Amino acid sequence: MMDIEAYKAKCGISSNRYVEGWLKENLIPGARSGPSLEDYCFPDSARRPYRYRGKIKPTTDATSIRAHIVNACIRREHITKEMCFTTQGEFNRMIEDLTKCGLISVRVEDSITYYDSTPESDLYEGKKLSIIRKFVLDALEAIAKGVTEGGLNTVRDPQYTVLI
């Protein structure tokens, strides 16, 4: 476990004000409270929360939310369903889609689920969100096309032909 100073150093934060706000919004999973901010303890695996400028809004479309998830992974920041204005089921499905495409990976450390980038998504580090969005959309389309074409090839396979 880390104290607030170690957490701030790890996350590149100079002000307690940010950490205090994140704690109030419950954006740092695994943080243990104390009587004062200086008494809080943070898991060694704790990350700073994803707070991308322009943020995700309740009206943000699904492809853009997926792009934000990938961007959070590339930036090594923590993202949650609450930040994405989704239900747990919808968020899990987006994570599953991105994992299937090889754009992110899922791991559990300190009893916290983290989403990590992959070598494929790391190529987009420092890119604009619009470019990451196109990358995500292309990957999703490729997977969808593969599933559709794979399904059609199975139907056309002579060993599955039904004789009437």
Question: 3-state secondary structure string, 82-141?
Answer: HHHCCCHHHHHHHHHHHHHCCCEEEEEECCEEEEEECHHHHCCCCCCHHHHHHHHHHHHH
> Under DSSP, is residue 26 helix (H, G, I), strand (E, B) or coil?
coil
| 33 & 73 share domain | no
32 and 64 share one domain = no
Res 55: pLDDT: 81
Shared-domain flag, residues 32 and 84: no
- Domain coverage including residue 82: 50-160
CATH assignment of the domain containing 54: 1.10.10
Bridge partner residues of 116 (DSSP):
105
Q: Which pLDDT belongs to residue 91?
A: 96
Determine contact, residues 72/79, Cβ cutoff 8 Å.
yes
Instruction: Give residue 148's pLDDT.
Output: 52
Question: Are 126 and 113 found together in one domain?
Answer: yes
Instruction: Indicate yes or no: pTM above 0.85.
Output: no
* Phi, psi (rounded to 5 degrees) for 112: -120, 135
Q: Is 42 helix (H, G, I), strand (E, B) or coil?
A: strand
CA distances from 18 to 9, 33, 58, 89, 105 (A): 13, 16, 23, 29, 28
Number of domains in the chain: 2
Is 72 found in the same domain as 14? no
- Are 73 and 136 found together in one domain? yes
Looking at the structure, do residues 113 and 132 belong to the same domain, yes or no? yes
pLDDT for the residue 29: 92
Task: Determine the pLDDT at residue 150.
Answer: 53
| CB atoms inside a 10 Å sphere around CB 59 | 7
Residues 1 and 81 grouped into a single domain: no
- Which ranges of the chain have pLDDT less than 70? 53-54, 146-164
Please tell me the predicted confidence (pLDDT) of residue 153.
Answer: 47
Per-residue model confidence (pLDDT) at position 146: 66
